[in-house]
Amino acid sequence: MNYFQYIGNELFAEQVPIQEIASQVGTPAYIYSYQTLKRHFTAHDSAFGNIDHLTCFAVKANSNLAILELLGKLGAGADIVSGGELFRALKAGISPKKIVFAGVGKTQQEMEYALESEILMFNVESWQELEVLNEVAGKCGKVAPVALRVNPDISSETHPYITTGLKESKFGIDIHSALESYKKARSLKNINTIGTHVHIGSQITKVSPFVDSLERISGLIQKLRQEDIPIRYFDIGGGLGITYKDEAPPSPQEFFKALSPTLQGMDLSIISEPGRVIVGNAGALITKVLYVKKKEEKNFLIVDAGMNDIMRPSLYKAYHELLPVFIEKRQNILADIVGPICESGDFLARDRELQELFSGELIATMSAGAYGFTMSSNYNSRPRVPEVLVKGDKFRIIRERETYEDLIRGEIIPNF
């Protein structure tokens, strides 16, 4: 069931007309479907079957506290990449023993925070980071639980900005030197190496890159056991894609069926880090047409959402389906849908065919639940937009629209 759907000629989120939400909270606004979030998480988590596992939601995809709490109550842990994301996960009630900390640039302060919080483990990405973590753990009187992130040199066949598993990537330790890194880690008295981590990219729509990377890492795990380096966790990362336009990614069941021959015999606890696949199609950004501009060369629909509200089209030239909130019997037009930001790169879509629309009418930017609000900014001094959660026939604001006063909070004019 699709929880964003037309009833008659009007677009609904679950049982609530989107027009009703927009009339109360204004536009632009992010809208999320509770039932879609629940369905997607349950499908992913249950696909593991009887394999010992932990599903850690990738907080970078959508970090709203209400979303994190919802997923936490369904059993999710958290995959974090900053101290701020750790703070959010803990505030949302997620157990620190279900939190893994990734990222190439952890600061000493973030390491201390995570150690004091007693998270499950750090996914360490370089030898120097491991040495620093050892020092920080010693100062804190702690032993840091660690998985080394291993770069398998696998192409994920996705956008180059979100490919992370090639040898030229900044992420992870090269697979050819990983065994020596594990051996050296044994000499660090404040480090307890308990796992292996791999993550090859995002928005991957084929199973084969995942299978290839897991097979390479499983070979490393066998060598670790031969060297009497026991590990308990295999963090297989995330990155499974969703349908934005015409992609046909595997279902969670198909995905884990392909992985299970490798995972079944490992006798390890498996950690996965889904993000986009849980929240991507659970959210939409609602925007309003401000002006219709017809030029000899091109038509423009100027809307009130800009690249500061949703960065993906400008950053990746990413496709998001644009749906009129009301379907009318009108001719289709070819137009650029552009925002109010003073940048030529500010667009939601270029040369898009859609129903002719007029000033004041609403458009839903679909598949915006992941990397939508979390990548937003105050560029052009624009307040960030509200977030709304819909459940059945009810909706609640889960983040208020920022005000102009919010824009300058924390700024100080010096007396000189």
pLDDT band at 10 (very low <50, low <70, confident <90, very high): very high
Counting residues of the chain whose pLDDT is more than 90, the rounded percentage is: 79
Confidence of residue 162 (pLDDT cuts 50, 70, 90): very low
* pLDDT value, residue 207: 86
Residue 163: pLDDT over 80:
no
pLDDT at 336 over 80: yes
Report strand pairing: 283-294 vs 29-33: antiparallel
192-203: per-residue pLDDT in tens?
A: 999 999 988 878
Which stretch of 241-245, 340-344, 389-393 has the lowest confidence by average pLDDT? 241-245
Per-residue model confidence (pLDDT) at position 38: 98
Domains recognised in the chain with CATH numbers: 4-32+280-408 (2.40.37.10), 34-277 (3.20.20.10)
Is pLDDT of 217 > 80? Answer: yes
- pLDDT at residue 233 tops 60: yes
Catalytic residues: 342
